[in-house]
Amino acid sequence: MASFLPLGQRVLVQIAEEESKTASGIIIPDNAKEKPSQATVVAISNEVKEDGEIKKGDNVVFGKYSGTEITVDGAKYLVLDVDDIFGILN
């Protein structure tokens, strides 16, 4: 991954791929899928590192319509404000 360091109170997350089929085998089109609300933290701003609550590799839950999508080296990521993160999954 190219180097991307979020600034301010932000983190960079990678959204987990969602299923494109139902259990019965029906294919779900992209426009019918729910917006994801879970992701893995891949980069943290220096301000957030000082706080120490959120670490690289944490699985977090965030608001469905939060953040800004970016593409780095062909992969899609989301830049989130720390306030948009509800919690860390264990």
pLDDT in tens, 44-73: 999 988 778 899 999 999 988 899 999 988
Give the CATH fold of the 37-90 domain. 10 Kd Chaperonin, Protein Cpn10; Chain O (2.30.33)
pLDDT on residue 65? 86
pLDDT in tens, 7-47: 999 999 998 766 556 667 776 665 555 566 889 999 999 99
Task: List the one residue out of 67, 87, 72 whose CA is nearest residue 9.
Answer: 67
pLDDT on residue 29? 63
- Give the type of residue at 29: P
pLDDT on residue 19? 56
Domain regions of the chain by residue span: 37-90
pLDDT on residue 30? 56
- Give the type of residue at 86: F
